[in-house]
Chains A and B, each alone.
Chain A
Amino acid sequence: MREMMRQAMAQLRSQRMLTVVGITGTALSIFLIMVVVMLQQVKVAPYAPVSNRPRMLYAQYASIVVENTPYQSNGPMSYESAKELYGNLETAERSTIFASYLTVATMTVPGGRPVSADMLTTDGEFWNVYDFTFLSGKPYDQTAVDAAQHVAVIDESTARRLFGSTDAAGREFQLNHSPYTVAGVVRDVSTLAEECFAHVWVPLTTTPLINNTWNSYLMGSFSAVVLAKSSDDFAAIREECDRRMRAYNKTVKESNWQFISRGRPYTKEEVLVGQWANVEPDLKTYRRDRLIVFLILLIVPAINLSGMTESRMRQRREEIGVRRAFGCKRSTLLMQLFGENLMITVVAGLIGWALSVGFAYLFSTMLFLEGYSNTLTMPKVSLEMLVQPSTFAWALGFCFVLNLLSTGVPAWRASRTNIVNAINKK
């Protein structure tokens, strides 16, 4: 092993230019691939307050149809429907129901300027499904929600704007012309935790949104999220949801509308892929498109690198010939050449990975603000979100593939060199 390292180092030093070109090419390739991976990872990876993401199933929307007609409606549900379809599931740990979109809250304290912020209306379980960090006070529970108590949880920056301090639990203020009391103050949430992001959270029973229903009170403004005990239970949960749907369809028969599942509830990755409420997410096409991007980012640098490896091998033909003459096995040679290059690739890969984390951290606004956004707040990332064990594994995996592609053919050819020709420089 140490022998190999020494050889690799000597190689690197003897052809400085090739080394620089090779490392730059590899690092650039891994850098771009890792940025692409991160763009998706921040939306599905677990971090506070969405630490439970891998155990979550999402019913952001529902679909209803009138059987044997083209009539259908797709979108958020009413609170009633959400409770019937996803509330208190036996197979799940718990579930929560909250508004499907943000609304604007205008908040004032006597003598202060009005403060506008993004508001999300939720049930009480919301606070058990998402792990917000409370700086002051505590969340409101389901009893407060059922009693339509005017209490609110606000984030750190809103607390500062309204009260000039984060220690605001118990303080009173006006929210959309109704009096509210601060139940708790939480640490600011990144917009990338899009499912629970807001500046203000209030019980869903206290705003007019709950009366915003259509299609015979079946559809409305709410989504549901189911928290499983483990992701192994997903199939069982979906089955129970289907049973619930069949039962609920019987009770709403008179409306003529019938719920259909479209494979809901979805995993976070499916939610990310599904753009429309009326189309089931197409994970296959999404993954194929990503694969094409990865291949383009890998194959072109791999061809470059293999050209350079080839030149390097040619310089070492004599050495290889001598070693073969003294009985070195082909597989040993192949492994050595492969290992030597892997070391270079991994070093370059680490540089690329570190660059990608730094880049993502510095240019998060430009990078992560990708599509339609409900809020004016810009996306922020923390290192906790970017440095995921899984992204690191991906980076190493891509290095390995890149190395396989770029040294495979040259190393294989070099190991098959005719001994006599090699030693005679033919």
Chain B
Amino acid sequence: MSQKILKQIRNEWRSNVWLCVELLIVSVVLWYVTDFLVASYTISSRPLGFDVEHCYKLTFDQVSETSPEYVPYDDEGQAAVRDLQQLLERLERRPEIEAVCVSANSHPYTGSNSGGAVTVDTLKASGYNIFRYVQPDFMRVFRYEGLNGETPEELAEMLRQGKTLISANILEEHGIKDPSGFIGKRVYLYEDTLWSLTVGAVIKPVRYHDYKQGQMNRTVVIPDVFWQDWTIRVRENMDKDIVEKLMADAETQFRVGNYYLANVEPFSRLRDNILRSEHTAQRNQLTIMAFLLVNIFLGMLGTFWFRTQQRVPDLAVRMVSGATRRQIFRLLTGEGLLLLTIMTPIALAIDLNLAHLELNTYLEPHGYFSWTHVLLCGGIAYGLMAIMIVAGIAVPASRAMRIAPAEALRDE
């Protein structure tokens, strides 16, 4: 059988060379796209280390100095802090709200970050580690979890005592997967040796966002008060109309001194916004993938349309001498599939080179290259192309087989 197919391929070698070039290009591009999509999916399905469901971000603004409502504060910011404290307490008293906290450049899905080098005891975590300056209830709002089973409440208590929290991956560059042994040791930020904090607990790694890999997933949580970003967690069954309810009280309850509540937005929106460019990239790659697959279909359809027409008498002879429809179908599609199978090792060789040149997508923990990943993506590309080839050849093949043998062989 395969010998017959090889002969068929040789007879049509000129147009088969074109098909092969096409299959090769498409196979490599499909491998690249599959690699990207598989990597994106793998990363995003790993645990985030935080939870933003039922969470909202509040924006408090100050009235302009030119406004008649402006109250000049006399002391150095103390009156302002009193006003802010009052707003915080009012939010905490709302029955719908489970937890409130203010933080600076720290909540999930923010574009602004604080960070730098950190030294735990004597070991330095170099580069840009994320520092989260938060009030204790940050743990309850975003439900961070301890590596050794500490609850968000227990973690909040440690922050209340002025202790710091480090993520389990903070010392990964030293090969330490569980830094629990460093609890009670000192932590130094920005290579500053004069000021330090005590490690209270180790938390599970907190990802920067759903698709982030690498250093920005290393976290140090620092107890501090910056009146910058206001975030709340709403009780599970009280999400309904919460934005409207809070905004309805903006002019009364949440209007203190020069401050007023300007905006409430759900974290789902912040998340969508931060992840949008990633999702756009996925959309574009999927479109290219679909486009190439449609082209394989069209290419096969076009090429084999002509070929099967020429071969109708040949097919008729086969049918007369007892070949089943299935066998003939296999003979025709086999030609396309064999071309694909011949080209696949060459494509894989190119794929491997791309991976070695690090032109594909990075995926922790193995990086750009691992045999299983390259072969998995190559396999997916092969499978998808095989389906399109069979579909593309099936149309002209079934048309050719519909002709009665006697009709086709009348000339002979």
A296 touches B301 (CB 8 A): no
A18 at interface by CB-CB < 8 Å: yes
- Indicate if the CB atoms of A18 and B305 lie closer than 8 Å: yes
How far, in angstroms, from A32 to B285 measured CA to CA in the complex? 12
Bound complex: CA A265 to CA B288 (Å): 35
CB-based nearest B residue for A293: B288
List 6 A–B pairs whose Cβ atoms lie within 8 Å, in order of A's numbering: A17-B302, A24-B298, A176-B260, A179-B68, A207-B64, A208-B65
A114 near B306 with CB under 8 A, answer no
List the B side residues contacting A178 at CB < 8 Å: 63-64, 66-69
Of B64, B274, B299, B301, the residue contacting A208 (CB under 8 A) is B64
Which of these binds chain B: A53-61, A162-170, A365-373? A365-373
Give the residues in chain B near A177, CB-CB below 8 Å. 63-64, 67, 69, 260
Which among A79-87, A91-99, A302-310, A391-399 touches the partner chain? A302-310
The smallest C-beta distance from B33 to any residue of chain A, in angstroms, reads 10
Say yes or no: B25 contacts A372, CB within 8 Å. Answer: no
Interface residues on A, range: 35 or more
Minimum C-beta distance from B249 to chain A (A): 11
- Is B398 an interface position by the 8 A CB rule? no
Decide: B250 and A307 in contact? CB cutoff 8 A: no
**Nearest A residue to B32 by beta-carbon distance?**
A296
Bound together, the chains give a CA A148 to CA B66 distance in angstroms of: 9
Does B238 sit at the interface, judged by CB under 8 A? no
Interface size on B, residues (CB 8 A): 45
Query: Of B13-21, B119-127, B128-136, which binds chain A?
Result: B13-21
Q: Answer yes or no: B59 CB below 8 A from chain A CBs.
A: yes
Given contacts A106-B260, A114-B251, A176-B64, contact A310 B302 (CB under 8 A): no
> Which residue in B65, B67, B288, B301 is a CB contact (below 8 Å) of A21?
B301
Determine if A252 is an interface residue (Cβ-Cβ < 8 Å).
Answer: no
B18–A306 CB distance below 8 A: yes
User: Chain B's nearest CB lies how many Å from the CB of A331?
Assistant: 24
Check B21 against A176 for contact (C-beta < 8 Å): no
A22 touches B302 (CB 8 A): yes
A102-131 near B? 1/0 per residue, CB < 8 Å: 011010000000101000000000000000
Q: Smallest CB–CB gap between A244 and chain B, Å? A: 30
A104-B262 in contact (CB<8A): yes
Contact flag A208-B62 (CB < 8 Å), given A307-B19, A311-B15: yes
Interface class of chain B by DSSP: helix
User: B90 on the interface (CB 8 Å rule)?
Assistant: no
Contact for A369 among B66, B276, B295, CB less than 8 A: B276
Chain A interface, >50% SS class: helix
Q: Is B73 an interface residue (CB 8 A)?
A: no
A279 at interface by CB-CB < 8 Å: no
Closest chain-B Cβ to A303's Cβ sits at a distance in Å of: 4
Measured in the bound complex, the distance between the Cα atoms of B273 and A311 in whole Å is 50
> Are B288 and A296 in contact (CB-based, < 8 A)?
yes
Given A310-B15, A372-B276, A376-B269, CB of A150 within 8 Å of CB of B298? no
**Contact A371:B276 (CB < 8 A) given known A178-B63, A300-B22, A303-B21:** yes
Closest to B262 in A: A104
Q: Is A25 an interface residue (CB 8 A)?
A: yes
Contact A32 B287 (CB under 8 A): yes
Q: How far is the CA of A304 from the CA of B25 in the complex (A)?
A: 12
| In the complex, B45 has a CB within 8 A of chain A | no
B190 interface residue per 8 A CB criterion: no
- A104-B263, A176-B67, A371-B277 are contacts. A303–B301 as well, Cβ < 8 Å? no
A135 to B287, CA, bound (A): 41
Question: In the bound complex, do residue A300 and residue B302 qualify as a contact, i.e. CB atoms below 8 Å apart?
Answer: no
User: Which one of B260, B262, B294, B298 has the highest number of Cβ atoms from chain A below 10 Å of its Cβ?
Assistant: B298
**Residues 12-45 of A at the B interface (beta carbon under 8 Å):** 17-18, 21-22, 24-25, 28-29, 32
* Contact, CB under 8 Å: B295 / A25: yes
| Interface residues as binary, B272-297 with A (CB distance below 8 Å gives 1, 0 otherwise) | 01101100100000011001101100
Q: Which residues of A contact B306 (CB under 8 A)?
A: 18, 308, 311
Query: What CA separation (Å) do A25 and B301 show in the bound complex?
Result: 11
**Does B111 sit within 8 A of A, measured CB to CB?**
yes
Task: Check A273 for interface membership: any CB of B closer than 8 A.
Answer: no
CB pair A304 B291 closer than 8 Å: no
Tell me if A76 counts as interface (CB < 8 A to partner B).
Answer: no
Which of A17, A114, A177, A293 gathers most chain B CB within 10 Å?
A177
Given contacts A206-B64, A370-B277, 4 further A-B pairs with CB under 8 A are: A106-B262, A114-B251, A176-B262, A177-B260
Q: In the docked arrangement, what's the CA distance between A32 and B67, Å? A: 53
Q: Check A65 for interface membership: any CB of B closer than 8 A.
A: no
Q: Which residues on B sit within 8 Å (CB–CB) of A297?
A: 288, 291
Asked whether A304 lies within 8 Å of B302 as measured between CB atoms, the reply is yes
Chain B residues within 8 Å of A25, by CB: 295, 298-299, 302
Give bound CA distance, A370 to B275, whole Å: 10
Q: Which residues of B sit under 8 angstroms from A24, Cβ to Cβ?
A: 298
Query: What 4 A-B pairs are tightest by C-beta distance, nearest first?
Result: A178-B67, A304-B299, A371-B277, A311-B306
Q: Which residue in B68, B277, B292 is a CB contact (below 8 Å) of A372? A: B277
B147 CB-CB contact with A under 8 Å? no
Across-interface contacts of B65 in A (CB, < 8 A): 208
- Does B337 interact with chain A (Cβ within 8 Å)? no
Interface set, chain B 289-328, CB cutoff 8 A to A: 291-292, 294-295, 298-299, 301-303, 305-306
Asked whether A321 is an interface residue with its Cβ less than 8 Å from the other chain, the reply is no
Q: A301 contacts which chain B residues (CB < 8 A)?
A: 295, 298
Could you mark each residue 203-247 of chain B with 1 if its beta carbon is under 8 Å from any beta carbon of chain A, else 0?
Answer: 000000000000000000000000000000000000000000001
Q: Which residues of A contact B305 (CB under 8 A)?
A: 17-18, 21
Residue A299 is within 8 A (CB to CB) of chain B in the complex: yes
In the bound complex, residues from chain A placing their C-beta under 8 Å from that of B302 are: 17-18, 21-22, 25, 304, 307-308, 311
Residues in B with CB closer than 8 Å to A208 are 62, 64-65
A209 (CB) vs chain B CBs: closest residue: B64
What are the residues of chain B within 8 A of A106 when measuring CB–CB?
61, 250, 260, 262
Q: Which of A180-212 contact B (CB under 8 A)?
A: 206-208
- B298–A307 contact, CB under 8 A? no
B67: nearest chain-A partner, CB-CB: A178
Near A by CB (< 8 A), chain B positions 36-70 give 59, 61-69
Among B29, B287, B299, B302, which residue has the most Cβ atoms of chain A within 10 A? Answer: B302
For A376, the chain B residues whose CB sits under 8 A away are: 269
